[in-house]
Amino acid sequence: MLDKIKQFASEFFVTGDPLILGAQVSIGLSMIAMIFVLSYFRKWGWLWREWLTSVDHKRIGIMYIICSIMMLFRGGVDALLMRLQLAMPNSQFLQAEHYNQIFTTHGVIMILFMAMPLMFGLFNIVVPLQIGARDVAYPFLNSLSFWMFFWGAMLFNVSFVIGGSPDAGWLSYPPLSELSHSPGVGQNFYIWGIQISGIGSLATGINFIVTILKMRAPGMKLMKMPMFTWSVFSSCIMIIFAFPILTVTLALLFLDRFLGAHFFTLDGGGNPMMYINLIWMWGHPEVYIVVIPAFGIFSEIVSTFSKKKLFGYKSMVFAMLIISLLSFFTWAHHFFTMGSGADVNAFFAISTMLIAIPTGAKVFNWLFTMFRGKIRFSTPMMWTIAFIPCFVIGGMTGVLLSVAPADFQFHNSYFLIAHFHQVLIGGVAFGYFAGLYYWWPKMFGFKLNEHLGKWAFWTWNIGFYVCFMPQYFLGLDGMTRRTYTYDFDMGWGPLNLVSTVGGFLMGVGFIFQVWQIAHSIKFREPDVTGDPWDGRTLEWSIPSPAPIYNFAVLPEVNEADAWWEQKQKQSLSAKQPAKIVYEPIHMPKNSSIPFLMSALWFFAGFGFVFNWMWLTIPALIGVAITMIARSFSYDTDYYIPADEVKRTEAALKGAKV
């Protein structure tokens, strides 16, 4: 009996690696610490009522952002471990298997559990405020989306201490990801972690499309929406077309592994190529899904900090929509070298290059927004300015990669690694950092420390170039991606060492950011204006942090820069605004069902991972029960009385000395 338990434990927990043991111990200790702190300060009820069951889009947004910063830490540690291993030739720091797990989890986490939630966090916080709405269209679904993401991410993350991480690459091509070549549970974690959170992403996409189409303030025609809202809209359109493909693909892979189906195995009539086609039909739009909202953020920031209207609004919208469309015609450029033939390669080479045209036009529009403006160098603007050269260079190397016959030399090499990190860090990460700095006061009511922010900015930026520029040369010198070691006589050592130094410099940048947040919380200076950057869009017209109902009175809109316009008018006419009449506000009630249902999905997924039907079946029954419970709950909303709105507003105005 004892032997059995021991054997089970040795398979269940990942053992034998000092790094992982250290992680296990620190995870255990920090969990104990968390439980202790929450109990000591009696915050369990507060946590449950105010956060875990909240359907308020602003709270959900904040929870997304917290999770994504945690995941940035984890993905970043993965990256630094890889860079340490590659710093020297013939390094013995990591074993091959461990290295393979690390690059797989690094890719999955950074794209799906870092970039996506950071993006959703900003969607949640900003979009309803920008369009003058009181919440998203489906607040309950919004909460469910968040918790599906959260529990999916947790399921994926536990793989590294329990059972073992996936190690077949972030897109898990079969046959490597099939049972025959990856018999462990790692791939099951991959499938279910992504599947559960992917359902949340799809729901978010639907939610925000409806929100943007149906919840805009009176007068806000589509062509008067702020650019960030437009970018969210085009990103969500891509989500609703791309994510179902991912869901189906992973479901088929699961059937292969679980039921012995043969969708992607050659024996039995399947075809691995089908998986590769499907996964990239999702995967390539996915990178545009995460980068388009960054374009929206840059547009807002460039305009605000140049004190000038956004240049070329209409062509910006058009460019974004055309990118959304073109992104679905590029997937085959991921396998130019798989023998598709010249016809197919030529078609996809050109459809890929075409994306450079609208993207280029957007860059010029940003530049000409600054042209004849007054540029202030606050941290959000600094990230935006740094983004332009970084993204333009990364975009150009992307065009080089799209030249099909040249891609035969770039494919799978470090040139490719350098390219996509340049567009994803220079575009997405820089963009979301800029957005985070920009909207931080709206979330929490105080600004982040600018001085530490500039330190973070410079270390990140210098680190970035030191890390990734050498990788272009390594790629041209024949170094392939995912290789865990190389011989001394390849001559790749020095450049890899430089790259590692750059990676750690970015790590220092992250530490500065954490320090910046901690410092700003401790020495916070409340923003009493609600409009610390002299903003242009509606979110700056209300106090920060925004009250639960956002707008006491729904605003009327005539222009894209609605708040700017209002400010101009107010300064022109000295007369007092008419007396405001408050009305009761209709609000959704909190619900514990999203949290519980997603937690049950976690257990169902965990059961599938280990093939424990005794866990999966009850958990799935539980999911069904929560759904039924929700469909029978009629007490889902309430009204905030006009008096209370009036009192809250008076208090908020009182705070505005």
Partner 1 sequence: MKKRTLVQAMLPFMMVAIIILLAGCSNQAMVLDPKGPVGAEQRDLIVISSILCAIILVPVLVLTAWIVWRYRDKEGNKASYKPNWSHSTSLEIVWWAVPIIIIVALAVITIRYTYALEPSKPLKSNKPPVTIQVTSLDWKWLFTYPEQGIATVNYLQIPEDTPIKFELTSDAPMNSFWIPQLGGQIYTMSGMAMTLYLQADEIGHYFGTGANFSGAHFADMTFDVNATSQKDFEAFIAKTKKVPTKLTMESYEALAKPGKSGVQYFSSVPDGLFQKIVTKYTNGQSIHSGHVSSESVKETSKPQSTDKTAPMNHNDHSQMKMTK
| Footprint on residues 143-182 left by partner 1 (CB under 8 A) | 167-169, 173, 175-176, 181
**89, 107, 184, 373: residue in contact with partner 1 (rule CB under 8 A):** 373
Burial of residue 47 (CB within 10 Å: 0-12, 13-18, 19+) is exposed
516's tokens = 């910046």
Rounded CA separation 148/211 (Å): 20
Which of 437/551 has CB closer to partner 1?
Answer: 437
DSSP result, 55-92: --HHHHHHHHHHHHHHHHHHHHHHHHHHHHHHTSTT--
The gap from C-alpha 457 to its chain's centroid, in whole angstroms, comes to 20
Asked if residues 587 and 134 have their Cβ atoms less than 8 Å apart, the reply is yes
Nearest distance from C-beta of residue 21 to partner 1, angstroms: 22
16 touching partner 1, by CB under 8 A: no
Which of 373/622 has CB closer to partner 1?
Answer: 373
Q: How many CB atoms lie within 10 A of CB 211?
A: 27
377 touching partner 1, by CB under 8 A: yes
**277, 315, 529, 592: residue in contact with partner 1 (rule CB under 8 A):** 315
190's tokens = 């991959």
> Residue type for 243, please?
F
406 touching partner 1, by CB under 8 A: yes
Rounded CA separation 167/97 (Å): 7
Which parts of 433-462 interact with partner 1 (CB under 8 A)? 451, 454-455, 458, 462
Closest C-alpha among 462, 464, 470, 463 to residue 497 = 470
Please name the residues in contact with 175: beta carbons below 8 A apart, sequence gap of 6 or more. 181, 264, 265, 266, 272
**38, 240, 255, 361: residue in contact with partner 1 (rule CB under 8 A):** 361
By CB under 8 A, how many residues form the interface with partner 1? 107
Q: How far is CA 427 from CA 267, 291, 334, 435, 518, in A?
A: 42, 6, 20, 12, 26
396 touching partner 1, by CB under 8 A: yes
Nearest distance from C-beta of residue 123 to partner 1, angstroms: 26
**38, 210, 261, 388: residue in contact with partner 1 (rule CB under 8 A):** 388
**183, 389, 526, 584: residue in contact with partner 1 (rule CB under 8 A):** 389
Q: Tokens 């034998």 correspond to what residue?
A: 16
183 touching partner 1, by CB under 8 A: no
Nearest distance from C-beta of residue 217 to partner 1, angstroms: 22
66's tokens = 């917290």
341 touching partner 1, by CB under 8 A: yes
Asked if residues 55 and 143 have their Cβ atoms less than 8 Å apart, the reply is yes
187 touching partner 1, by CB under 8 A: no
Which parts of 505-534 interact with partner 1 (CB under 8 A)? 505
Q: Pattern 457-476, binding to partner 1, x per CB under 8 A? A: -x---x---x--xx--x-xx
Asked if residues 362 and 227 have their Cβ atoms less than 8 Å apart, the reply is no
309 touching partner 1, by CB under 8 A: yes
342 touching partner 1, by CB under 8 A: yes
Which of 148/386 has CB closer to partner 1?
Answer: 386
Which of 74/411 has CB closer to partner 1?
Answer: 411
Which of 352/590 has CB closer to partner 1?
Answer: 352
Instruction: Examine residue 545 and say whether the peptide bond preceding it is cis (omega within 30 degrees of 0).
Output: yes
Nearest distance from C-beta of residue 434 to partner 1, angstroms: 15
Closest C-alpha among 546, 488, 555, 587 to residue 136 = 587
480 touching partner 1, by CB under 8 A: yes
DSSP classification of residue 449? P
Which parts of 93-152 interact with partner 1 (CB under 8 A)? 96-97, 100
Q: Pattern 270-299, binding to partner 1, x per CB under 8 A? A: xxxx--------------------------
Rounded CA separation 299/301 (Å): 6
Which of 534/644 has CB closer to partner 1?
Answer: 534
362's tokens = 């957007």
477 touching partner 1, by CB under 8 A: yes
**405, 526, 584, 641: residue in contact with partner 1 (rule CB under 8 A):** 405
Nearest distance from C-beta of residue 147 to partner 1, angstroms: 33
Q: How far is CA 566 from CA 346, 374, 560, 571, 573, in A?
A: 51, 20, 11, 9, 11
**4, 42, 372, 522: residue in contact with partner 1 (rule CB under 8 A):** 372
Q: Which stretch binds partner 1 (CB under 8 A): 8-16, 431-439, 488-496, 571-579?
A: 488-496
**116, 131, 320, 404: residue in contact with partner 1 (rule CB under 8 A):** 404
421 touching partner 1, by CB under 8 A: no
Q: Tokens 């090499």 correspond to what residue?
A: 413
Q: What is the CA radius of gyration of the chain?
A: 25
88 touching partner 1, by CB under 8 A: no
Which parts of 251-270 interact with partner 1 (CB under 8 A)? 266-270
494 touching partner 1, by CB under 8 A: yes
Which of 65/353 has CB closer to partner 1?
Answer: 353
Does residue 217 come out as left (phi exceeding 0), alpha (psi in the -120 to 50 range) or beta? beta
Please name the residues in contact with 315: beta carbons below 8 A apart, sequence gap of 6 or more. 361, 365
Nearest distance from C-beta of residue 471 to partner 1, angstroms: 11
Which 3 state secondary structure label does DSSP give 514? Answer: helix
